[in-house]
Amino acid sequence: MENRTYEQRAIELGKNASTRNECYVLAQSLVGEIMNTDDRLWSINRNWETYGTWRITLWMNEYEFGRNFAAHKFSIITHDEDAKFSIKSFEEDINDYVSEIVTDAFDGEYDEEEE
């Protein structure tokens, strides 16, 4: 069985959706799976930005998530240097990104060569 990245799966969901509303439901389902992925497939870095400000960045494994997904910068700015973050901290941004991929595929933005 071929390993399908989350990005490929999102494109496939969009191509197979029958309505735009279905795209959002399918995207949310895929995001639910992503939120439960093994924490070895992603990492979170904390970098000091400026006085009292930290940038928290989520990095995703390219093999599991896909090249574009892994290159996408999911970041949070915080002033709480002791705050703890997990992949769930980025759920809204990931949902937006996955929804965009699914709806773009629904609209015909991806051709067979890009998969």
- Tell me: pLDDT of 115 over 70: no
Q: To 10 degrees, what angle do helices 20-35 and 91-106 make?
A: 140
Q: Average pLDDT, stretch 52-63?
A: 93
Q: Where are the domains positioned within the chain?
A: 6-114
Query: C-alpha angle 35/8/15, rounded to 5°?
Result: 110
Edge-first strand order for the sheet with 53-60 is 42-50, 53-60, 74-78
pLDDT of residue 99: 97
CA distance 50 to 71: 24
pLDDT digits (tens, 9 = 90+) for 21-47: 999 999 999 999 999 999 899 999 999
Both structure tokens of 9: 């799966």
pLDDT digits (tens, 9 = 90+) for 79-96: 998 889 999 999 999 999
